[in-house]
Amino acid sequence: MVLPIFLLIVGIVILLFGGDIFVKGASSLAAKMKVSAIVIGLTVVSFGTSAPEMVVNIFSAVQGSGDLAIGNILGSNISNIFLVLGIAALIRPLTVKEGTTWKEIPLGLLAVLMLFVLGNDVLFGGGTVDILTRGDGIILVSFFLIFIYYTYGLSKIKGEREKVETHSWTKSISYIILGIIGLVIGGKFIVDNAVILARMAGLSELFIGLTIMAIGTSLPELATSGIAAYRGHVDLAVGNVVGSNIFNILWVLGLTPIIAPIKMNPQANFDILVAGIAAFVLFIFMFTGGKFHRHKLRRSEAIVMLLMYVAYVVFISFRG
C-alpha cells in the first residue's frame, strides 16, 4: 500500500515538471514558427498530453480490456472539459477564439456522435453485438487526418499572436521532448499505481477507466492547461483541451480497434451521452454572459462545470 502511494506522488511531481517545460517549449515554438498558439495547442500540445491515453489504450487493446480502453477515453474527455477547463478558467477566465467556438468545439461533439453510431451495431446496423471493428477504427483515423489537414490550413492564417518568451530552436524542441517524456512517465506512474489502489478497493474495470484512469491520463492536460492559464497563454490552455478530446476519439480510439477490435459495453452509452453534453455545454457557454462576454469561459461557468463533474462522478460511483 505504501509503495503505490509513494509512486503516485512521484508521478504527480514528474507530471507537473513535464507540463511546465512543455508549455514553455510549445509557446516558444509557436512564436518562432509564426503560427498562432491555438494551432500549437490543437496539434503538438494535444498530441503530447494525449500520449498517456494512447499508452493505456494500446496496453488495454493488447490485453483485451475493452471496458478499460473505452472508459479511459470517455472519462478523459469528460474530465478534460468539466474538470480541466473548469480549473483553468478558475485560474484565469478563458477567452476563446471565434474559430474555435464555431469549428473545433463542434468537431469535438461530432467525434462523440461518430463514436455513438459506430459503437452501436445492434441499434444502427442490425448486428448481434456492439463492437468497434478495424473498419470503424479506420473511419475514425480518416477523420483525424482531415482534422490535421484543417489545422495545417489554420497555421497559414495570419492573426494576432500572444507575446511569449522565446528560446532557441534547439531549446524549444528540447523542452517539448522533455515535457512529453515527463508527461508520459508521470501519467504512467499515476495511472498504474492508482489502478493498483482502486483494484485493492474492489472497483469495476469500467469504473476504473471512467474515473481513476481517466483523471490520471487527464493530468497532463490539467498540468498543461492550468500552467498555460496561469502564464496567460489562454489559446494554449483552450486548444490543448479541445484538441486533446478530438485526438482521443479520432486518433487514440481509432487506432485502438485497428490493433484489436473492442467490444462495447452498453452501459458506456450513458457516458458517451455525458461526453456529448460536456462538449455541448462548452459550446453554449460561449454565448452566455452578454455581448461583452461572448466566446469567454468565466469563473462562474467554470464552477458550474466543476459541479457537473462532481455530480457525474457521484452518479457512476452508485452505478458501479
What does the alpha-carbon distance between residue 271 and residue 315 come to, in Å, rounded to a whole number? 11
* pLDDT mean over 93-106: 84
List C-alpha distances in Å: 259 to 54, 76, 252: 12, 21, 11
What domains, with CATH codes, occur in the chain?
36-158+202-319 (1.20.1420.30)
What does the alpha-carbon distance between residue 137 and residue 113 come to, in Å, rounded to a whole number? 14
Query: How far apart are the two ends of the chain, measured CA to CA in Å?
Result: 23
> Would you give the DSSP letter of residue 96?
-
Residue 166 makes CB contacts below 8 A (sequence gap 6+) with 28, 31, 32, 172
Q: Name the residue type at position 172.
A: S
Q: What pLDDT is stored for residue 184 in this prediction? A: 78
131 phi/psi in degrees, rounded to 5: -150, 140
List pLDDT tens digits, range 147-167: 888 877 766 655 545 556 788
Q: Evaluate if residue 28 carries a pLDDT over 80.
A: yes
Grid cell in block for residue 144: 483525424
The torsion defined by the Cα of 102, 76, 23 and 54, in degrees rounded to 10, comes to -110
Binning pLDDT at 50, 70 and 90, where does residue 205 land?
A: confident
List pLDDT tens digits, range 222-251: 888 898 888 888 877 888 888 889 989 999
Strands 296-297 and 94-95: antiparallel
What does the alpha-carbon distance between residue 131 and residue 126 come to, in Å, rounded to a whole number? 12
Q: Calculate what percentage of the chain has a pLDDT beyond 90.
A: 31
What does the alpha-carbon distance between residue 236 and residue 225 come to, in Å, rounded to a whole number? 7
What does the alpha-carbon distance between residue 189 and residue 197 come to, in Å, rounded to a whole number? 12
